[in-house]
Structure 1
Amino acid sequence: MSDVTLGTSLNRTLGLARFNWLLMVRNRTTMLYAFVMPLVPLGLLFASGGDDPDPTSGAATIGTALFMALLFPGYYNVLSMFVSRRDEMVLKRLRTGEIRDLELVASMALPGAAITLAVAVLTVPIAWASGLDLPLNPILLLVAVLLSIVTFAAFAVWTAAWTKTAESAQLTSGPVLLLALAGLMGAALPESWQRWFDLLPGAAVLDLTRIAWFAQDAQDGLDGTAGELSFLETWSHAAPSLGVLVAWTAVAVLLAVRSLRWEPRS
């Protein structure tokens, strides 16, 4: 693809993304889910800040905030937007012109992705003001967030395949939301169950947050001590969780591509 073609494609995608952003911010319910839900854990983190904050608790709170951003603006908003545009035949009409399929999907995912990245950036000053350390490996944290954004945007397109209306998305999104949130509860389960829950995307995001931000390995996360990993060691310790997240990204994208529908079922 030439530079001119790539630039034109990018301009079309950003133009559609700006339009989708405007529609999103005009919907009060969507904005409530998109902004308030991710900020609740961060508010609790700031309110509980003290002279000697617990890194394990901080990692769980920050991971939960990131996950709320991934689930609501990053997943649910894309799902409802895709279904409503499809049922109104907007997507079908747009595809008759020069707009490519990838541009359409990306333009719907970008507003949620922007909010998720904004939440990720906002966690840094809030965590620092709460007495927690700054992220040791922000590159690893960014990689985890970007992979998660792609994963849940793809899951949204997949879920849209069997979602008849935007209103029914409240029900059809349940399995993905349950799958995602179950990974956050693995630490509270018996050890024999934890290894299975560690394979879920929520557990991978939480582990990568703990390793990238607080340099905690598995044992640090259990006993509540501060991590002692170096910058390079965080990459090796993060490899299993990063592999789990990459696998979920690949599965989600494959499901989205195979089930993509641009118009309502007849």
Structure 2
Amino acid sequence: MTSAFSLKRTLNLARWNAVLLTRNRLAFVYAVVLPVLPILIMLAGERGDPAVGATSITTVFLVVGLFPVYYNVLSQFVSRRDELVLKRMRTGETRDAEMIVSIALPGIVSALVISAVVVPLSQLFEQPLPVNPVLYAAAAVLAVIMFTAFAYWTAAWTRSAEAAQLTSMPIILLASLGPLGASLADSNETLARIIDATPGAAMNELVRVGWFGFDGAEATEKTLSFAETWSAAGPPLIVMAAWTIAACSLASRSMRWEPRS
């Protein structure tokens, strides 16, 4: 009889995955060090300038999703699949869902902790507190789910951990298009709308609305109240939700547990 999903077993596996993550220096830097470096952008601008703060925080948010979650989950899953670790685990009591969650959990926890820690860190640079912390937290949770699903989908067509450096580029580029939306808003409206429909642009806008109360891609001053941020966040939330559903669907349909032939 197939055993049900075990939270205890999942947490034990996640703990060992976290230990392996800390032993890999590059993976550890991706998970802990690299995501907080964009906070230093605030040193380059005027102290307390919300526009500089928005640039810094949105960059932190993007890096947190791409490296602790997306790239680390992708490389770890592919490595263990190629070493037949996953195949052997599936012959025992471990369920597929437990393996999927346990591999992703260390990166997810790192991403969420950094997303929270960056709030008090920003106070050192006299940045405002989030206008709508609930919306900011929801954006962080949705982002880690989306990038986890993208990681497992990318793993389906990644032959080796080394190849992940190339196969990850389409998602990294897609997520990195967000900051271009504002610069293209005046020059090419059609292209700007296309970029606004990318996950990176949606995350960028959610942080700007939820944290800084900015209304629009070119805004540099707070104009939205707590109540007004909910309606302004509607379009980017829909975009992120759509990408998350699509990524989960693609990942579930293409999951591979054995090395590609």
TM beyond 0.5: yes
Q: Could you tell me which of 141, 148, 151 is aligned with 2:146?
A: 151
> How far 1:223 moved relative to its partner?
4.1
**Does structure 2 retain, via aligned residues, the 8 Å contact 1:56–1:210?**
no
Residue type of the alignment partner of 1:256: A
**Does structure 2 retain, via aligned residues, the 8 Å contact 1:161–1:261?**
yes
Q: For 1:167, what is the secondary structure of its paired residue?
A: coil
Number of matched pairs: 256
Q: Could you tell me which of 104, 119, 126 is aligned with 1:124?
A: 119
Which residue of structure 1 aligns with residue 22 of structure 2?
Answer: 25
Distance 1:211 1:98, change over 3 A: same
2:103 corresponds to 1:108? yes
**Does structure 1 retain, via aligned residues, the 8 Å contact 2:13–2:102?**
yes
Residue type of the alignment partner of 1:203: A
**Does structure 2 retain, via aligned residues, the 8 Å contact 1:197–1:203?**
yes
- Scaled by the length of structure 1, the TM-score of the pair is 0.92
Residue type of the alignment partner of 2:23: R
Which residue of structure 2 aligns with residue 205 of structure 1?
Answer: 203
> How far 1:110 moved relative to its partner?
0.7
Residue type of the alignment partner of 1:197: I
Runs of 5+ in structure 1 lacking a partner? none
Which residue of structure 1 aligns with residue 179 of structure 2?
Answer: 184
Identity %: 50
Relative to its length, the structure with more helix (as a share) is 1
Q: Could you tell me which of 215, 219, 222 is aligned with 2:218?
A: 222
- Scaled by the length of structure 2, the TM-score of the pair is 0.93
> How far 1:230 moved relative to its partner?
2.0
Residue type of the alignment partner of 2:7: L
Q: Could you tell me which of 11, 34, 37 is aligned with 1:37?
A: 34
Q: Could you tell me which of 40, 59, 77 is aligned with 1:64?
A: 59
Deviations 1:171-224 (A, max 9, x none): 111111111111232222234121110001111111000111111111xx4242
RMSD over aligned Cα, in angstroms? 1.6
Determine the C-alpha separation between the residues in 2 that align with 1:43 and 1:31: 20
Which residue of structure 2 aligns with residue 232 of structure 1?
Answer: 227
**Does structure 2 retain, via aligned residues, the 8 Å contact 1:50–1:130?**
no
Determine the C-alpha separation between the residues in 2 that align with 1:141 and 1:203: 15
**Does structure 2 retain, via aligned residues, the 8 Å contact 1:215–1:234?**
yes
**Does structure 1 retain, via aligned residues, the 8 Å contact 2:45–2:52?**
no
Deviations 1:200-256 (A, max 9, x none): 1111111000111111111xx42422x232222211110000000000000000010
Residue type of the alignment partner of 1:222: E
Which residue of structure 2 aligns with residue 256 of structure 1?
Answer: 251
Q: Which moved more, 1:86-95 or 1:186-195?
A: 186-195
